Amino acid sequence: MLSWSVIEFGGLMKGELQNAKEAIRWATDYLLKAPAQPGTVYVQVGNANRDHACWERPEDMDTPRSVFKKK
């Protein structure tokens, strides 16, 4: 959605265009790195119910976290 908005309205973003491009780049870099094997993409880290019950930053969590993948 952000990419589409930049294509359509990038000329109107003035000072925020670079920030939008950086956000798009971050997302596309993630998608390029997500496939560990051909045909497999890792889509989620963590269990939402457990994670939402914990009030600490993900970087500080030392408990095992589930990883979900799609083939």
- For 15-51, b/e burial (b = at least 16 CB within 10 A) is eeeeebeeeeeeeeeeeeeeeeeeeeeeeeebeeeee
More confident site: 36 or 24:
24
Q: Do residues 41 and 65 both lie within one domain?
A: yes
Q: For the whole model, what pTM was predicted? A: 0.55
Q: What percentage of residues in the chain have a pLDDT greater than 70?
A: 100
Residues 25 and 5 in one domain: yes
In a shared domain, residues 23 and 39: no
Please tell me whether residues 40 and 71 are part of one structural domain: yes
Same structural domain, 39 and 69: yes
Count structural domains, the chain. 2
Residues 26 and 48 in one domain: no
pLDDT, residue 9, reads 93
Domain that residue 12 falls in: 1-33
- Shared-domain flag, residues 42 and 71: yes
Section 4-30 average pLDDT: 92
For the cut 80, the answer to whether the pLDDT of residue 58 exceeds it is no
Nearest to 38 by CA among 1, 7, 69, 2: 69
